[in-house]
Amino acid sequence: MNATSEAPAVLITGAARRVGAEIARTLHAAGARLVLHYRTSAVEAESLAAELNASRPGSVVSAAADLCDSARLPWLASVAVEEFGRLDALVNSASAFYATPMGSIDAAAWDDLIGSNLKGPLFLCQAAAPHLKAVHGAIVNITDIHAERPMQNYSLYCIAKAGLLGLTRALAVELAPQVRVNAVAPGPVQWPEGKAAADFNAAARRAIVARTLLQREGSPADIARTVRFLLFEAGYITGQTINVDGGRSAYL
């Protein structure tokens, strides 16, 4: 992003918990002002906002929206402008993740997985684009190494992330030269919760790590540092995906 005397304003989706929250802490520590998006994690989002505002008052606000509700996304894209006078960057981190074996896929799963991982980011990028163009801003999408190397029983999720990877490249072309668009593709940095947790028991985790060149798990901080780099230090990088996976994608 262009140098400015003002602290950059960043909208992060799915910022209340897990990787999204770590991205928020890392970008805030780098001086950014933040809009923390959440869908249902209101308590966590408000707690994180209070934590960060305690160190720098007035630097963080939270905003609730369902990314599957396209009509709500122009408002979400405008929150940073209303609060901070500008929007410098968008990080699409929110994601639904669970198995959908063939034969079990229904319209509800399609709407949820495609909505949170592809449709929502697309319409949010579209809504944010005029604000980002005005300041020569940047977008970072959180994809997945399985966007290019599908995982059994997770076809719908993999399709959605493959779409987000394609969206990253398409928007890099579409929004150039004013806006840079890149992606970060995590490997085994944080194990799933909820519906998918049972598929990643101790034995499954050991097997995944065994096929990771560095022979260890990563952490949300690894993803957050890469997002920070792409937003604040990579002025000549666009249309690219950085795999942060300990080398797993080289060995799948």
Query: Band of the pLDDT at 1, cuts 50, 70, 90?
Result: low
Query: Band of the pLDDT at 191, cuts 50, 70, 90?
Result: confident
Catalytic residue among 154, 157, 236, 251: 157
Identify whether the C-beta of residue 29 lies closer than 8 Å to the C-beta of residue 5: no
Determine, yes or no, domain membership for 4. Answer: no
Determine, yes or no, domain membership for 220. Answer: yes
Average pLDDT over residues 36-50: 97
- pLDDT > 70? residue 252: no
Is 157 annotated as catalytic? yes
Average pLDDT over residues 54-78: 97
Query: Band of the pLDDT at 187, cuts 50, 70, 90?
Result: very high
- pLDDT > 50? residue 46: yes
Q: What is the mean pLDDT of the chain?
A: 95
Provide the CATH number for the domain around residue 170.
Answer: 3.40.50.720
Indicate whether this model's pTM tops 0.85: yes
pLDDT value at residue 3: 41
Query: Band of the pLDDT at 114, cuts 50, 70, 90?
Result: very high
Domain carrying residue 95? 9-250
Average pLDDT over residues 173-181: 98
- pLDDT > 70? residue 4: no
Domain tally, the chain: 1
